[in-house]
Amino acid sequence: MDHPISPSASDPTPRLALRLWREALSPYKGRLAISFGFMVALAGAEFAFILATQWIFAGLSPTEESRFTANAADVVVWGPVLILVLGLFQAAVFYGQVVTSQGIGISLMRDVQQKMYDRILTLDLAQTEGDGAGPLVSRFTNDMAVLRTSLVRAPNGVRDGVRLIGIVVALVVLDPILFLAVLLIYPVVGLPVTWLGKRIRHLGRHVQRQIGELTGVLTESVQGRRMITSYRLEDYERRRLGEAFEERHRLLHRLLRINAANEPVITVIGAVAIAAIIGIAAFRIDAGLMSGADLVAFLVAMALLSAPARGLGTLNAALQEGFSALERMFDVLDRRPTITDRPGARSLSLPAGPPDIRFEGVHFAYREGEPILRGIDLTVPAGATVALVGPSGAGKSSLFGLIPRLYEAESGRILIAGQAIDSVTLASIRDAIALVSQDAVLFDDTVGANIRFGRADADDEALKAAAVAAAAHDFIEALPQGYQTPVGERGEKLSGGQRQRVALARAFLKDAPILLLDEATAALDAESERLIDEALKRLAAGRTTLVIAHRLSTVCDADLICVMDRGQIVETGTHAELVAKGGLYARLAALQFGEAT
């Protein structure tokens, strides 16, 4: 696996942002431009709103001669209209901005999801199975959720930035000197708020930790009732728990006081700031450098400033979280499969009849140093049925997995019709193999669709013929919607035996020359067992079949039985030969098939 993007000492954010742009955002250039246009329009509307208040208040200020100034008549008519129009315009661009920019986020998520899934489909099984599956699924669930939050907040942050610029320009236009004064005042009055915020977070963590400790003590104490009662430790425990309850009470009270102080402190600070502004403004108005209307507009602008300023304050945290989720998602996109077609690989060329399969000195391990298959030599003659038996963990399923190249052998060769499987294309090998596994994997679709996975272009006649051959047609016809009946998640609406027959029908439809059959271990009722047995016989006829056998009837019918133990083939022969030999098979058969042997 290569990981070009890995956490490093240097800040990965610029690199991630660049990559996000190149691989995900650039197709949305047009929509991004529109969305930015809306943001600028919104900022413009706010700017206009501030100046409109100034114009209105300038018009409505009483003068000595009359109750209104000269342009009052205009203001009385047009003031309300202007505010209304600006409000409507703001509402419309706000809506447009949210829909376009968050719409881009939603589309981007779909793209990344699709890309990740496409990548996963190409990966080796080893990279996605077992331990690998959980983290991969979490890329789609947890990381996607985090990314979604960021994708909502990032455009809001840009919008807040643009709005802030508009408001600051308005403040400068109204009175640059007063604006400078605000710039100096704000950091000073802002300090207590920051300090309070830190205290609240600190205390909050403390409370969380104490709750954890208390839970531990409580659990210990409640579970230890037997001990407490028999040793009469009640008083000791009451004191011990009492101290913990008291500590919690004390912490919660502190948190309460500090939380309760938060709002009042903000109010006081706001009052101090506004008082300072009014104080300074009073001097400037008195000196004729500023009008009362300027001051009103200035205060309106200050009020408008707080929302975008708060939004920008929390933007960074949201972005950082989003980027780390994105990094983990890119990591999936950067993975590469190791089992691939060799350059210039040709299709497997198949003989007219079924092909033979040969294993030559095959060694295999999932992890280095833990060999699973150790020197497998095995020939499955063309058209024959070979049964694999052996204790659990012997390596039977692993041997199966090597044939369609789900996993790669460490050494040795596997040949189909004389061609090494790693020299031909993956698609042609997988086309030549029908796999019927014991868990009979069905997807949440109709019965018909599940069979058709065998061969997508099969017509209804072929579909029905396959179902008949698999002894599935009758039960399917009896379902409420016949072939159109949904099977439910993992085929839960069908019985175990029915699921297996659907899986068999799929293999009939695929009509591949090689059959890999992993028999069900779960017991079926006698009727299902008989139907499946007969279907299997029909399916194996004229194909080269390798079967992991769990049933007596299968081993008795096999041309050859290979007994595996700890990664090796330890015995081969027919059922009768192996029973007579009295080795591992004889013991296994006695255990597994009981008196039947």
Ligand X SMILES: Nc1ncnc2c1ncn2[C@@H]1O[C@H](COP(=O)(O)OP(=O)(O)OP(=O)(O)O)[C@@H](O)[C@H]1O
Shortest distance in whole angstroms from residue 590 CB to ligand X: 18
Stretch that binds ligand X, among 200-208, 355-363, 386-394, 499-507 (CB under 6 A): 386-394
Asked if 397 is part of the footprint of ligand X (rule: CB under 6 A), the reply reads yes
Stretch that binds ligand X, among 62-70, 306-314, 354-362, 392-400 (CB under 6 A): 392-400
Contacts of 1 (CB under 8 A, 6+ apart): 127, 334, 335, 336
Token pair 């929390």 is found at: 314
Question: Which CB, 395 or 454, lies closer to ligand X?
Answer: 395
Q: Which of 127, 291, 398, 446 binds ligand X (CB under 6 A)?
A: 398
Q: How far is the CB of 396 from ligand X (least distance, A)?
A: 4
Site for ligand X in 289-328 (CB under 6 A): none
166 is a site residue for ligand X (CB under 6 A)? no
Q: Which stretch binds ligand X (CB under 6 A): 7-15, 343-351, 394-402, 536-544?
A: 394-402
Q: Please provide residue 375's backbone torsions phi and psi, each rounded to the nearest 5 degrees.
A: 75, 65
Tell me how long the chain is. 597
Stretch 104-143 residues interacting with ligand X (CB under 6 A)? 129-130
The full 3-state SS of 199-248, as one line of letters, equals HHHHHHHHHHHHHHHHHHHHHHHHHCHHHHHHHCCHHHHHHHHHHHHHHH
- Judged by CB under 6 A, the number of residues near ligand X is 12
Give the nearer residue to ligand X in terms of CB position, either 167 or 372. 372
Q: How far apart are CA 514 and CA 3, in angstroms?
A: 38
| Distance in Å, CB of 126 to ligand X, minimum | 7
Hey, what are 112's tokens?
């990344």
Q: How far is the CB of 372 from ligand X (least distance, A)?
A: 4
CB of residue 409 vs ligand X: minimum separation in angstroms? 13
Task: State the minimum distance, in angstroms, from the CB of residue 135 to ligand X.
Answer: 15
Taking CB under 6 A as the binding criterion, the range among 34-42, 46-54, 62-70, 385-393 that sits at the site for ligand X is: 385-393
Pairing assessment for the beta strands 560-565 and 544-548 based on DSSP bridges:
unpaired
Q: Is residue 392 involved in binding ligand X (CB under 6 A)?
A: yes
| Nearest distance in Å: CB 506, ligand X | 21
Residue 294 and residue 439: Cα distance in Å, rounded? 78
Q: Which residues pair with 516 in a beta bridge?
A: 435, 546
Of 366, 423, 557, 566, the one binding ligand X (CB under 6 A) is 366
Nearer to ligand X, 391 or 583 (CB): 391
Query: How many other C-beta atoms lie within 10 A of the C-beta of residue 392?
Result: 7
| Least spacing, CB of residue 218 vs ligand X, in Å | 40
Q: Does 404 bind ligand X (CB under 6 A)?
A: no
Among 224, 279, 393, 482, binds ligand X (CB under 6 A): 393
Distances (CA, A) of 414 to 55, 149, 430: 87, 50, 14
What is the spatial distance between Cα 509 and Cα 521, in angstroms, rounded to a whole number? 24
User: How many other C-beta atoms are found inside a 10 Å radius of the C-beta of residue 554?
Assistant: 23
- Neighbour-count burial of 477, counting CB atoms closer than 10 A to its CB (0-12 exposed, 13-18 middle, 19+ buried): exposed
396 binds ligand X (CB under 6 A): yes
Residues that bind ligand X (CB under 6 A): 129-130, 366, 372, 390, 392-398
